[in-house]
Amino acid sequence: MQFWNSRRERLREEIRTHIEMEIEENLQSGMPPEAARQAAQIKFGNTLLAVERSREVWGALWLEYLFQDLRYALRSLCRAPGYTAVVLLTLALGLGSVATILAMTDSVLLRPVPLPHPAQLVVIYGKTAQTGTYTELTYGQIQELRRDSRVFSAVSGYATTVAPVGASDGMRIALLCMVTPDFFRVLSIQPKMGRLLDSGDAAQPVVVVSYDFWHDRLHGNPHAIGSTVKLSGAMRTVIGVLPQGLEFPIGAGAPAVFAPMSLQAKGTGLFIPGAALALARLQPGVSISQALGETRSLFNHAHDGVDGQHLAVESVTRFLTGSMQTPLLALLGGVAILLLIACSNAANLQIARATERLSEMQLRSALGASFPRLLQQLLIESLVISLAGAAVGGGLSVAAVAVIRKAYAGQFARFDEIAIHPGVFAATALLAIVAGLLASLAPAFSTRSRTLAGNRRTATPRNRVSSVLVVLQITLTSVLLVTCGLFVRTFRALQQAPLGFDPHNVTTLVLMPEDSHRSPSLQRETNTLLLHRLQALPGVEAAAMQTTIPFSNYSFSMNGTTDVGGRPFHKDDSAFYSIVSSDFVRASGIHLLRGRGFLARDDGSSDMVALVNQAFVDKYLAGRNPLGVTVRMHRDPGEKDSDIPLSRNLTIVGIVEDELQGPLGSSFEPMVYLDDLQIPTDSAFLQVFSIASEYAIRSPLPRDVLDKEIRAALEQAAPGMAEMQLQSMQEGIANSLRQRRIALRLVSSFGGMALFLAAIGIYGLFAYAVTLRRREIGIRMALGSSRTGITGLILSHAGRLLFWGLIPGIAGAWLAGHAVRSFLFGVKALDPPAVIASAALLALVAALAASVPAWRAARVDPMEVLRAE
Amino acid sequence: MSTREGNDPIDLLQGTLDLLILQTLVFGRAHGHAIARTIGLRSDEVLRVGHGSLYPALQRLLKLKLIAAEDGISENNRKARFYRLTEKGRKALAAETSKWQRFSEAIGRILSPAPSKPR
């Protein structure tokens, strides 16, 4: 800039000297001073032209023009601070939300997990046909893969659970990962300290711990190698610490302990043995679909009859974050709509502004500015503001990403890794440039046609383009609003979903034995003792053990085929079996519909009794008196008593209401509740259910008092049991809705932003239209139109735009509802109340936004307008 | 600001003006006014629209490095900008002059087919 200025200044100086020399000559030849000056100027000609032509010779003029336009754009934007602020804010909102969701998608879904050659790492598992949830493979299947498959260079097995792990700070819950000794070799990682497992460790009492475990539980001790941790009642030596940032197996860093397992082991594992997932490395050049094909055919030919069609081979990245894919893509769709709304808003505001500046443009055109030159300037102004919007939006997204990372790291896979990578910034800048180009096109061409047409007084100018843009905005906004309504209705429906029990004053407690090999009879002794203790606490009304507590992650029930007395057995007749202690009905608050609950006298009796739920009655005993009916677990021909978990007959003594077992909104399954103390200690039931014990405690005491009492009772009555969870049922319910609440909050913030932008758009359009139509309005009023008539004119125009925007909007909302239907509960993709509420809200906002310009139109003074002609 | 192209004689005679400037500078350095005066003496036509048209031509020659500019003091003790031929300019002038002479001879032949006789 300085360079150009000085060069130009020097040229001007030179020309001045030239003219002065000429004047001097003229004076010497005897001219009077004034004539001498004039003659010199005439002889020189157009000074400005000489300078301009010279500058054109210098070249790089476009760059100078660019700087000129930039400066001019900044100056004129500063002169219209209101306009600038609105456009900037609009684009910052649109681009900022796009950048945030792009950064999340990029970090979570697209970036490979930080492991060596992650593209070759795959997880192999089974998929259940109905629900698509994953199941583990048997040890035998993993060994088969290892032996017979040619697509993998290495196959290892791992199984994940949580378990109490003892260190110097006591017993605390940690992630327990049982791995085959070659697991870390398949991952190809090096230890931070010590060594990793090798083939000789399969049966050794050793563990490798994660960085987080070392940091949190071993206090980052540099001499941690060789120290011991207590796992399942036995001491194990720490032989290695993993490097920081290892995300396997749950997609986030966590205090985790990796203990060796052997695929040859039978029934003596730390927890349910015999099943694991396979982590394998593909041979170089083998694709995942090839691997899937080969593995499927391998399993189809295997004699153990596993259905290869339900086998899945997935890249580690996808396996860890697959569940995030649909929500993130849905969010991406949402922000794309938001950006479109923001862009059309910016375009509309620029059209309005271009109209205001029409006379300036006409003047410049008359002074010789060519259309490309004017276009360049409009474009630069548009780009300046959209890039500034991208910068502000980028800043917003940096803050948003930091908040999201802080709030949700560790709760969702890979959320601790969320960051804005340069690519996302580049993409946002690119979007901003495209948005700037698009937004400046409409005003540029409307300016062109009008500067060429010249006189704008010839007709009432109307801008079809801005009307179309507002209709588009209304359409997109109604899509977001209706979707938002669907989420609100879903949330309401979930909150009102029947629980089947009274959640008030219920506290739930989960314990896990430190030693998983405790005998069932010892376990029962502890249970009984603890229950007596809890029931005796002052202020406690009832306490019960339950293997299935609603909203708990530690609930177990066993699905078993079942014979119902008086009904022929069908192949799919089954029920879920849950074990409870005798005070179950009172403590859990489940509603007893008929009959009675368990009584103390049942405990010692050899006649086994059972409670069933309403779903059981509906499915198997419809139209019959269920009380007194005998139920037993089904025995296939040839099966002995010892092959089934429970061989005794059960008499139904009571019917309870359906109690929720899954998350809110899940369906009710037939349940059979058994009295814990009636079950023989050698039953396979008890072994399965001894992994964790859950208790429901009913008490009106305040939380902190009750917690203190319970913990004191635990210390005395249940040594050797680690506390996994102690929370009120209400907290459990709230937690189960947490993810829903996050989704609702996100979607409604989109809806709110869209509504806000649409309001700006509608206001902008009408404010501009009223300015343009002042003359028409003045004439109408002079011809006798009332002020109400004028207001009506504006508002009916707004109503028409609303109508034309809503029609495709509702269709779009139906499509959007269809796209997000997996998140919905209790509403259909096309939900009339959501549509009506959204339309009403949009109509209200549109009316408010249009009423200010309408009011201004009604105040037009016809005399003033006509006189101005 | 304007990118519109005019149809004034300067464009047509641009090559001529460049050549004249270079010729003027053969005898030594000169400032803009002196160059204009010299050219004006030789050909009124070229600078008809004004001395101002000299300056874009000077910038063009500077850019081509055919001439160089330096600050100096004029005969009237005025600070002025002086131009002189560079080595490249001298060579270009020699080449251009012969080309120009051939060209004007050709034009002369076309305009007067009969050999002109001195009056």
Which tokens belong to A323?
């569940």
Nearest-Cα distance to chain B for A42, in Å, is 7
**Looking at per-residue confidence, does A514 or A342 come out higher?**
A342
Nearest-Cα distance to chain A for B113, in Å, is 37
Residue A32 lies in a domain: yes
Nearest-Cα distance to chain A for B28, in Å, is 18
DSSP state, A243?
A: P
Examine the pLDDT at A307 and tell me if it is beyond 60.
no
Residues 6 or more apart whose CB falls under 8 angstroms from that of B113 comprise: none
Residue A780 shares a structural domain with residue A705? no
Residue A307 shares a structural domain with residue A214? yes
Residue A39 shares a structural domain with residue A152? no
- The answer to whether the Cβ–Cβ distance between B51 and A51 falls below 8 Å is no
- For residue A462, what pLDDT band results from cuts at 50, 70 and 90? low
Question: Chain B interface, mutation test: which of A6, A13, A54, A56, most B Cβ atoms within 10 Å?
Answer: A54
Residues 6 or more apart whose CB falls under 8 angstroms from that of A502 comprise: A589, A591
Examine the pLDDT at A491 and tell me if it is beyond 80.
yes
- A-chain CB neighbours of B63 within 8 Å are 57-59
Residue A579 lies in a domain: yes
SS3 B15: helix
- The answer to whether the Cβ–Cβ distance between B81 and A21 falls below 8 Å is no
Q: How much is the average pLDDT of A688-692?
A: 71
**Is B117 touching A (CB cutoff 8 A)?**
no
Amino acid at A708: K
Task: Give residue for tokens 């602020």.
Answer: A85
Question: Chain B interface, mutation test: which of A7, A13, A21, A47, most B Cβ atoms within 10 Å?
Answer: A21
Percent of chain A residues topping a pLDDT of 70: 92
**Rounded Cα–Cα distance for residues A547 and A552 (Å):** 10
Please give the C-alpha separations between residue A648 and each of A559, A563, A666, A670, in angstroms, as whole numbers.
17, 12, 31, 19
Which chain A residue's Cα is nearest to B81? A14
Give the number of other CB atoms < 10 A from CB of residue B9. 16
**Is B21 touching A (CB cutoff 8 A)?**
no
Q: How much is the average pLDDT of A110-129?
A: 82
**Is B33 touching A (CB cutoff 8 A)?**
yes
The widest CA-to-CA distance across chain A, in whole angstroms, is 142
Q: Would you give the end-to-end CA distance of chain B in angstroms?
A: 51
Examine the pLDDT at A303 and tell me if it is beyond 50.
no
- The answer to whether the Cβ–Cβ distance between B55 and A14 falls below 8 Å is yes
- For residue A573, what pLDDT band results from cuts at 50, 70 and 90? confident
Most confidently modeled of A202-206, A519-523, A610-614?
A: A610-614
- The answer to whether the Cβ–Cβ distance between B1 and A368 falls below 8 Å is yes
- A-chain CB neighbours of B76 within 8 Å are 21, 24
- For residue B4, what pLDDT band results from cuts at 50, 70 and 90? very low
- The answer to whether the Cβ–Cβ distance between B50 and A56 falls below 8 Å is no
Which chain A residue's Cα is nearest to B35? A18
Residue in A22, A54, A367 closest to B56 by CB: A54
**Rounded Cα–Cα distance for residues A585 and A226 (Å):** 50
Which tokens belong to B113?
């087919």
Domain count, chain A: 4
Residue A695 lies in a domain: yes
Over residues A332-362, the pLDDT tens digits come to 988 999 998 898 888 888 877 877 777 777 7
Residue A658 shares a structural domain with residue A543? yes
Amino acid at A394: G
**Is B119 touching A (CB cutoff 8 A)?**
no
DSSP state, A623?
A: T
- A-chain CB neighbours of B2 within 8 Å are 52, 368-370
Domain of residue A269 covers 118-322
Lowest mean pLDDT, pick from A77-91, A374-388, A434-448: A434-448
**Is A46 touching B (CB cutoff 8 A)?**
yes
Topology annotation, domain B11-100: Arc Repressor Mutant, subunit A (1.10.10)
DSSP state, A189?
A: -
Strands A574-580 and A558-564: antiparallel
User: Which residue(s) pair with A237 in the sheet?
Assistant: A206, A228
Residue A760 shares a structural domain with residue A834? yes
Cβ atoms A486, A831 nearer than 8 A: yes
Most confidently modeled of A53-62, A166-175, A499-508, A773-782?
A: A499-508
Last residue of a domain, one of A59, A89, A105: A59
Cβ atoms A823, A490 nearer than 8 A: yes
Residue A476 shares a structural domain with residue A580? no
Residues 6 or more apart whose CB falls under 8 angstroms from that of A299 comprise: A141, A144, A306, A307, A308, A311
Q: How much is the average pLDDT of A302-319?
A: 70
Please give the C-alpha separations between residue A5 and each of A58, A373, A417, A849, in angstroms, as whole numbers.
13, 21, 50, 48
Please give the C-alpha separations between residue A194 and each of A185, A209, A217, A225, in angstroms, as whole numbers.
15, 10, 17, 6
Question: Chain A interface, mutation test: which of B4, B8, B21, B51, most A Cβ atoms within 10 Å?
Answer: B51
Give the number of other CB atoms < 10 A from CB of residue A479. 27
Residue A175 shares a structural domain with residue A276? yes
**Rounded Cα–Cα distance for residues A248 and A184 (Å):** 11
**Is B52 touching A (CB cutoff 8 A)?**
yes
Mean pLDDT of chain A: 84
Element (H, E) at A849: helix A832-858
Residue A520 lies in a domain: yes
Last residue of a domain, one of A292, A322, A352: A322
**Is A59 touching B (CB cutoff 8 A)?**
yes
Q: What is the pLDDT, as a whole number, of residue A475? A: 93
Residue-by-residue DSSP string for A339-391: HHHHHHHHHHHHHHHHHHTHHHHHHHHHTT--HHHHHHHHHHHHHHHHHHHHH
- A-chain CB neighbours of B31 within 8 Å are 17-18, 21
Over residues A258-295, the pLDDT tens digits come to 998 877 765 443 344 567 888 999 988 888 888 888 88
**Rounded Cα–Cα distance for residues A284 and B57 (Å):** 68
Residue A667 shares a structural domain with residue A806? no
Give the number of other CB atoms < 10 A from CB of residue A128. 10
Cis peptide before A249 (omega within 30 of 0): yes
Which chain B residue's Cα is nearest to A53? B56
- The answer to whether the Cβ–Cβ distance between A46 and B50 falls below 8 Å is yes
Q: How much is the average pLDDT of A738-745?
A: 83
Residues 6 or more apart whose CB falls under 8 angstroms from that of A176 comprise: A160, A161, A162, A163, A165, A231, A256, A257, A259, A270, A271
ipTM: 0.75
Q: What is the pLDDT, as a whole number, of residue A397? A: 93
Q: What is the pLDDT, as a whole number, of residue A688? A: 65
Strands A206-209 and A256-260: antiparallel
Examine the pLDDT at A56 and tell me if it is beyond 80.
no
Residue A477 shares a structural domain with residue A532? no
Examine the pLDDT at A836 and tell me if it is beyond 90.
yes
Q: Which value, in Å, is the radius of gyration of the alpha carbons in chain A?
A: 38
**Is A745 touching B (CB cutoff 8 A)?**
no
Which chain B residue's Cα is nearest to A20? B33
Q: Supply the angle between the helices A832-858 and A464-495 in degrees, to the nearest 10.
A: 140
Question: Chain B interface, mutation test: which of A25, A43, A44, most B Cβ atoms within 10 Å?
Answer: A44
Residue A710 shares a structural domain with residue A814? no
Q: What is the pLDDT, as a whole number, of residue A60? A: 65
- A-chain CB neighbours of B80 within 8 Å are 14, 17, 21
Q: What is the pLDDT, as a whole number, of residue A612? A: 93
Element (H, E) at A267: none
SS3 B35: helix
Examine the pLDDT at A511 and tell me if it is beyond 70.
yes
Examine the pLDDT at B7 and tell me if it is beyond 70.
no
CA dihedral sign, ordered A657, A662, A667, A668: negative
Residue A50 shares a structural domain with residue A191? no
**Rounded Cα–Cα distance for residues A507 and A700 (Å):** 10
Nearest-Cα distance to chain A for B16, in Å, is 17
Q: What is the pLDDT, as a whole number, of residue A478? A: 92
Nearest-Cα distance to chain A for B80, in Å, is 7
Residue A478 shares a structural domain with residue A528? no
Last residue of a domain, one of A15, A33, A59: A59
Over residues A634-685, the pLDDT tens digits come to 887 777 776 677 788 899 999 999 988 777 877 888 999 998 888 887 776 7
HEC per residue, A22-81: HHHHHHHCCCCHHHHHHHHHHHHCCHHHHHHHHHHHHCCHHHHHHHHHHHHHHHHHHHCH
- A-chain CB neighbours of B4 within 8 Å are 368, 370
